[in-house]
Chain A
Amino acid sequence: MPGKVIVITSGKGGVGKTTTCANIGAGLANHGYKTVLIDADIGLRNLDVVMGLENRIVFDLVNVVEKTCKIRQALIKDKRFENLYLLPAAQTKEKDAVKPEQMVELCNELRKEYDYILIDCPAGIEQGFKNAVAGAEQAIVVTTPDVSAVRDADRIIGLLQAREIAEPRLIINRLRPEMVRKGDMMDINDVNDILAISLLGIVPDDETIITSTNRGEPAVLDSSSRAGEAFRNIVARIKGEDVPFMSFDFDLGFMDKLKRFIKK
C-alpha cells in the first residue's frame, strides 16, 4: 500500500507545528511505521534541532529536488527510532528554490517506500505553503486557542479545501485548562464550533515540551508528560483507532461551582 502524505500547517507561526510534526513522527515510528519528516521551511530550518539531529545534516531538500544527491543520501536516520527519517530544509536558499511540481514528484517517490510522510509547513500562505501542500493528500491544522491563531487557521482551512485536500483535521495546542475554567480562554467547543472541521487532538500547555525540546527529544515517549500523552492519542487516531479525548476537568472550588450554577 502506498504511504500517506500529511502536511502539518497553521497559517500563523509559533503555534507548535514543528513540535507537533516531530512528536507525531516519533510516535508513528515507535509503532513500527516507516516515517519520513520533511522540513519544508526553506531558509528557516528548525525541525532538525527540535529532533536533535542538527549535527548530522549533509544534504537537504533543495539538493534532493535539484537531484544533486539521491533521496536516500539526504535522509537522516534517527538513531533512537528504528523507522524515523528526516529530510532537512536548506538553510541558505530561498523559498522559491523548490517548485510545487518537484514536491509532488518527491512525495510520489517517498510514498513507494514509506508508510507516512509528514511535511512541516512554514508559516504563511505564500510559496512555502504552496510547496508544502502540493504533494499532500491529508492535512493537519494546528492552532492555539487565541483569536489570531484561530483566524489564521480558518483562512488555511479555506485554502486547503480549495486545493481539494479532503477533510483537514484540527489539533488545538497549548490549551490551559485553568484559564478555560475561569472563562479566560476559549475552550475546545468554542474553537471547534468556529472552525467546523474534525478534531484530531487537544494538547495541553505543558512545560515538558520546553524541556524535551531543549534536549532535542520528542515528548511523545515521555510517559510522565501530559502533552506526550496527548500526542500518543493523536498518533493512535491517525492510525485509525478510536481514542477518547483527554479530560481537563478540574475539581472546581465552591465559588466556581456557585458561579457556574448562577450562569446557567
Chain B
Amino acid sequence: MDLMGRFFKDDTSSKDMAVERLRLVLVHDRAGVTPGLMEALKEDLIQVISKYMDIDEEAMEVNLNSGEFSAALIASIPVKRIRR
C-alpha cells in the first residue's frame, strides 16, 4: 500500500498536514502555555523536588505533549540521590 501511495505521489496530502499542524498548535493555544511559562514551571519544580531529592538539573526535561484532544505534562527528572 505504501508503494501504491508513492506511485500516486501523495504520501501525505496537504490537508492531512493542515489537520496535524493545527492539532499541535491548538494544544498549546488552548492550554495558554508560553515558553516563558514552561521555564517558570521548571524552576519551581526544581525548587520543590530539591527539598526531597538531589536532582540533575541539566538533564531535566519538562514538555507539554499532546494526545488527540488533550494535553499531558511529561517531566523526566534524573535523581542523583534521595535526601534523608
Contact = CB atoms under 8 A, between A and B. Distances in A.
A184 B26 contact: no
A260 to B, nearest CB: 11
Contacts of A259: 8, 10
Contacts of B26: 151, 154, 194
Contacts of A154: 26, 29-30
A67 to B, nearest CB: 39
Contacts, number: 45
A182 B1 CA distance: 18
A149 to B, nearest CB: 10
B8 A194 contact: no
B15 A187 contact: yes
Nearest to B17: A147
B29 to A, nearest CB: 6
A186 B5 CA distance: 20
B18 interface: yes
B13 A151 contact: no
Interface string B12-36: 0111101101110110011000000
B8 A186 contact: no
B23 A186 contact: no
A262 B9 CA distance: 13
Contacts of B30: 154, 158
Contacts of A184: 13-15
Contacts of B48: none
Contact of B22 (A155, A182, A194, A262): A194
B8 A147 contact: no
A146 interface: yes
Contacts of A147: 18, 21-22, 25
A183 interface: yes
Nearest to A185: B15
Contacts of A186: 15, 18-19
Interface of B: 1, 4-5, 8, 10, 13-16, 18-19, 21-23, 25-26, 29-30, 69
Given A151-B29, A194-B23, 19 more contacts: A147-B21, A147-B22, A147-B25, A151-B22, A151-B26, A154-B26, A155-B29, A158-B30, A183-B14, A184-B13, A184-B14, A186-B15, A186-B18, A186-B19, A187-B15, A194-B26, A262-B1, A262-B4, A262-B8
